[in-house]
Structure 1
Amino acid sequence: MNKSELKDFLDEKVLQYNTLDFIESDPVQIPHLFTRKEDIEIAGFLSATIAWGNRTMIIKNSHRMIDLMGNAPFDFVMSHSDDDLQRIETFVHRTFNGQDFSSFIKSLQNIYLNHNGLEAIFSKHQEPASIQKSISEFKKIFFEIPHQYRTQKHVSDPMNGSAAKRINMYLRWMCRQDNKGVDLGIWKSIPPAVLSCPLDVHSGNVARKLGLLTRKQNDGKAVAELDAKLRKLDPTDPVKYDFALFGLGIFEGF
C-alpha cells in the first residue's frame, strides 16, 4: 500500500472500532462509570495501571478496585482511614498487590492536595510535540512521598526507554475528544496531537506488517518511530489509529 491507501485503510478501521461497542470489552468502561471529573480520572488511572494480561480479568479486577473504594474513588483518595487502607490490601492483580494499591492511594492524595490534581501535572510538563517528558515528570511527583520501592515498577518512565503503554493509553482516554463516546476527553489542556500510541505486542506486530514500524523491540524508541509515522497520517489526532492497530491485532488476528 502507498501512503494514501494506507491512510484510507486505517481510517476505515478507526471508524469500525472506535464505537460504543468497543467499551464492552475494554477497561475504558471503568472511568465511564462516573460523571465527576476527579472520579473519572482516578478510576481511569487505576484501571489503566493494571491493564496487562487477560482483558476479562483486567476488567473484573478494575471493578473490584472500585468496589473496595466504595464506588467513590475521589472521596476515598481524599478521606481514607488506616482501616480503609488495610482493607484494600486484600487486592491483587498479577504483580500489582494490595500494598501497591495502598501506595497509589497515598500518592494520589498527595497529588490532589499539593499539585492541583492529575491533569495539572501532565499539562505543566508537556512539550510542544510530545507527552513523554510529562510522563517522566509525573512519575517523579507520584513517588515523591514515602513509598515501597517495589511499587515504582507499576509506573513506567519513557525517559528510561519504556514504551509506557498503559499511561499512554490512559492519556488517550483523558485527552481525546472525538465525540465517538469511547475516549472521555475531559482534559482540555493537552492537545491530542502530542499524544503517543499505546504500543504493545499486538499493535506493534500490526504496525510492522503495515510498514509503520521497523524497530523490533516495543520500547520508547519504537514509540517515537510509530508516532512520527502516525502524525504524518493525521497531525491533529494521531492516536486515533490505536483503534485500528489494536482492532486489527486483537479482533482480526492481522
Structure 2
Amino acid sequence: MRKAELKEFLDAKVIQYNNPKFIDSDPIQIPHQFSKKEDIEISGFLTATIAWGNRKSIINNAKRLMGLLDNAPYDFVLNHQETNLEKLQPFVHRTFNGDDTIQFIKSLQHIYKNHGGLEILFAQHAEKDALQNAISKFKTTFFELDHLQRTEKHVSDPLKNSAAKRINMFLRWMVRQDNAGVDFGIWKHLSPSQLSCPLDVHSGNVARKLGLLKRKQNDAKALLELDTNLRKLDPQDPVKYDFALFGLGVFEGF
C-alpha cells in the first residue's frame, strides 16, 4: 500500500475508533469519571499503571482502587495519613500488590508537594520531539523516597530499552488534543507532536502487517521506528493512529 493510500486507510480507522463509544470498553473510562484536573491525572496514571491483561479486569480493579481512595484521588494523595494507607494493603492486580499501591500513593504525594505535580515534572525534562528522556527522569524522581525495590518494575524506563506502553498511553490521554472527547488534552506544557505510540502486542502486529514496523520485538527501538513512520503520516498528531492500530488489532483481528 502506497503512503497516500495507507494514510487514507488509517485516517478512516481513526475516525471509526476515536469517538466516545470507545470509552465504554476502555480503561480511559476511569479518569472520565472525574472533572478536576488533578483527579483526572492521578486516576489516569494509576489506571494506566495496572493496564495490562484482561481489559474487563483492568477496569474493575481500577474502579475498586478509586473506591479505596474515597473516589477523590487527589485529596487522598495529598492529605492521607499513614493509617489511611492500611486499607490499600489488600489491593492486587496481577503482580501489582498492596505494597506497590501504598508506595505509589506516597510517591505521588511527594511529586505534588515537592515537584509541582505530574504535568510539570514530565514537562521539565521533555525534548522537542520526544518524551523518552522525560519518562526516564520521571521514574528517577518517582522513586526518590525510600521504597521497596520490587515496586520499580511498575514504572518503565525507555532509556533501558522498554517501549513503556502504559506510560505512553497515560501521556496520550493527558496531552493529546482530542475533539472527539476521548483523550483529555488537559496538559498544556506538552504537545501531541512529542508523544509516542503505546506499543503493545496488538498495535505492534498490525503495524508490522502494514509495513510501519520491521523490528520483531516490542521494545524502545521498535517504538522509535514506529514513531518515525507515524510522524511521516501526521507530524502534529502521530499518536492518533494508536486508535487505528489498536482498533484493527483488537476489534477486527486484522
TM-score (norm 1): 0.99
Q: Secondary structure at the match of 2:39?
A: helix
d(CA) in 2 for partners of 1:23, 1:83: 35
Residue 178 of structure 1: CA displacement?
A: 2.0
Q: What's the RMSD between the two structures over aligned residues?
A: 0.4
2-structure distance, mates of 1:147, 1:76: 19
Matched residue, 2:33? 33
The CA deviation string for residues 203-242 of structure 1, in whole angstroms up to 9 with x for no partner, is 0000000000000000000000000000000000000000
Counterpart of 1:30, as a letter, is I
Q: Partner of 1:43 in structure 2?
A: 43
Q: Which residue does 2:9 correspond to in 1?
A: 9
Instruction: Tell me whether 1:243 sits opposite 2:248 in the alignment.
Output: no
Tell me, yes or no, if structure 1 residue 125 matches structure 2 residue 128: no
The alignment partner of 1:38 has SS state of helix
Correspondence for 2:83: 83
2:194 aligned partner: 194
Give 1:79 deviation, angstroms: 1.0
Alignment-mate amino acid for residue 132 of structure 1? Q
Whole-angstrom distance in 2 between the partners of 1:179 and 1:197: 19
1:177 is paired with a residue whose SS is coil
Quote how far apart the aligned CAs of 1:12 are. Answer: 0.2
Taking the TM superposition and a 5 Å limit, the aligned residue runs for 1:107-186 are 107-186=107-186
Distance in 1 of aligned mates of 2:13 and 2:169: 18
Deviation at 1:81, TM superposition (A): 1.7
Rounded Cα–Cα distance in structure 2 between residues aligned with 1:84 and 1:154: 22
Alpha-carbon distance in structure 2 between the residues aligned to 1:83 and 1:53: 31
What whole-Å deviation, never above 9, does each CA across 1:174-211 have from its counterpart, x for those lacking one?
00112110001100110000100000000000000000
* Segment of structure 1 superposing worse, 31-40 or 76-85: 76-85
Count of paired positions: 254
Residues 115-172 of structure 1 deviation map (CA, whole Å, 9 limit, x = unaligned):
0000001000000111111000000000001111000000000000000000000000
- Supply the distance in 2 between the matched residues of 1:23 and 1:129 (Cα, whole angstroms): 28
Query: What secondary structure, in the 3-state scheme, does the structure 2 residue paired with 1:92 have?
Result: coil
What do the CA deviations read for 1:86-107 (whole angstroms, capped 9, x no partner)? Answer: 1111100000001100000000
Work out the CA distance in 2 between the residues paired with 1:84 and 1:206. 44
Residue 228 of structure 1 aligns to a residue whose secondary structure is helix
Q: Distance in 2 between matches of 1:137 and 1:5?
A: 39
Looking at structure 1, the residues matched to 110 and 82 of structure 2 have their Cα atoms a distance apart, in angstroms, of 16
- For structure 1, which runs of at least 5 residues remain unmatched after alignment? none
Identity in percent = 67
Name the stretch that deviates more: 232-241 or 73-82: 73-82
Q: Counterpart of 1:213?
A: 213
Q: 2:130 corresponds to which letter in structure 1?
A: S
Q: What's the secondary structure of 1:35's corresponding residue?
A: coil
Quick one: distance in 1 between partners of 2:17 and 2:104? 32
Structure 2 residues not aligned, in runs of 5+: none
Give the structure-2-normalised TM-score: 0.99
Please state how far the C-alpha of 1:57 moved relative to its aligned partner: 0.1
2:35 corresponds to 1:52: no
Provide the rounded CA distance (Å) in 2 between the counterparts of 1:104 and 1:127. Answer: 26
Q: Output the amino acid matched with 1:96.
A: F
- Equivalent position of 2:231 in the other structure: 231
- Structure 2: how far apart are the matches of 1:237 and 1:61? 31
